[in-house]
Structures are given as C-alpha cells and as structure tokens.
Structure 1
Amino acid sequence: MANNSNKQTNEEMADVQLIIGKILRLGVMISATVMLIGLLLLIVKGNGGYPNNAFPTDFTDIWIGIVQLRPYAIMMLGIFLLILTPVLRVVVSIYSFHQEGDHLYVVITTIVLIILGISFVFGIFR
C-alpha cells in the first residue's frame, strides 16, 4: 500500500515539474512575442512614442502607453511579463510542496515569494 502511495506521489511530482517547465517556456515565449511586437512597432513608427527617447517607468504610464500603442510601453510590458515568469514558478512550487505535504519547503518557498513581493514593491516606490 505504501509503495502505491509513493508511486502516486512521484507521478504527481513529475506532473508538477512538467507544468513548471511549461510555465517557464510559455512565459518566455509570451514575453518575447510582446517584445517583438514592440520592436516591430518601433521600426514602423520610427520612435519609441515618448519625447527624448524616454520610456515609461510606472504601471500607469505603461498601461496608458500600451493603449496608445507606444513601442517602448509594449516592450516594457514584455520585460514585466518576463519578470513575472519565475514568480509564477515560485507560486506553483508552493502548491507543489503543499500537495506533497512538505511543510518546511512550503514555508521556505513562501518566504521567497514574500521577499520577491517586497523587492517588487520597493522597486516601484524607489
């Protein structure tokens, strides 16, 4: 009976690892596609959409720039999506460790997620 339970846990963990791999690949592909769209817009428009080749640095400016199809804003969205990809991996890892019953790693990975969140917030308000 215990052998069957271990086999099921190993299969679940293999599935989670596959999901994590797919998340990382998909995140990189989506962010690269968004960056490519921004680059193509930059080539077509001939400028980044901002005076003096400035670029947006806060979320409000980025979202407004995306709506206005400003190339630099779209490229910033691509960078933001690329940054979010490993964060999503950490979230999936927390779920995976919870399913596995590994409470120590749930706590450690949650601390990592909190640190990522804090650094993200401090990065916004600097």
Structure 2
Amino acid sequence: MNNEDKETAAEMQQIEIIIGKIMRGGVFLATCFMVVGLLLLLITSNTGYPGTTFPTTIAEIIAGLAAFKAFAFMMTGIFFLILTPFLRVVISVYAFYKEKDALYVYITLTVLIILIISFLIGHH
C-alpha cells in the first residue's frame, strides 16, 4: 500500500467517524426537541396553535420556538430527523468522490437530487 492509499484510507476512516457523529447528533437533537415539545404539551395541555393547525414554514417554527409552543418544538424535532439522513447523503457523495468511485458518486448524487426535488415538491 503506497502513501496515497494510506492517506485515503485514513481520510475515509475520519469520514465514517464524522458520518456516525452526524447521525447520532441528529437523532439526539431530534429527540431532545420532541421530548421538550411533548413536555410542553403535557404541562400546558395546549399545542400553541388554534384547532388542528401547526407550523409549516421555517419562520413559523422559529417564531413558535421563541414563544415556547409545543408543536413548534415537535416540528423542529421532525426537521432534524429529516435533515440527518440528508446530510449523510451529502457526505457520502464526498466520500465516494475521494475514493474515486465514480459509479457511487453518480448514484449518490442521483439520490441527493431526488431528495431535493421531493423537498421542493413537498413544500408546495
């Protein structure tokens, strides 16, 4: 194994560690926000929103967080839960690029594009 291969292997190991930390951190953050939202809901018996409505935009969620609205905390948890695998795919593109694995770069980029399109379609 030459020096370049050793450096690439070491960098891939670092990337795997980063991916693991992102996955754990994302799930931890999502859980924390969901638990806080649930506690607020149980303590106040109020979602913070009228009827069956809930925040659907980033601005509404941020305003709801500032006002300590239960559903805003829960939506933030869901946001982090969705963001976590998205970041995993982004980092995987870089990892496959560094490994010079063009096929997997293209496959992962395709998955990333599909995720972005689905987010945009789901938003409208």
CA distance in 2, matches of 1:69, 1:6: 51
Residue segments in structure 2 that go unaligned for 5+ positions in a row: none
TM-score, normalized by length of structure 2?
0.89
Give 2:75's aligned residue: 76
Question: AA paired with 2:13?
Answer: A
Q: 5 Å matches for 1:21-100? A: 21-100=20-99
Summarize deviations over 1:50-72 as a string: whole Å, max 9, x none. Answer: 12243223333323222221100
Q: Cα RMSD (Å) of the superposition?
A: 1.6
Residue 119 of structure 1 pairs with residue 118 of structure 2: yes
Q: Does 1:110 align with 2:109?
A: yes
Displacement of 1:36: 1.1
* More off after superposition, 61-70 vs 106-115: 61-70
Once the two structures are superposed, residues 12-35 of structure 1 have per-residue CA deviations (whole angstroms, 9 ceiling, x without a partner) of 212211111111011000110111
Alignment length, in residue pairs? 124
Stretches of structure 1 lacking an aligned partner (at least 5 in a row): none
- 1:46 is displaced (CA, Å) by 1.5
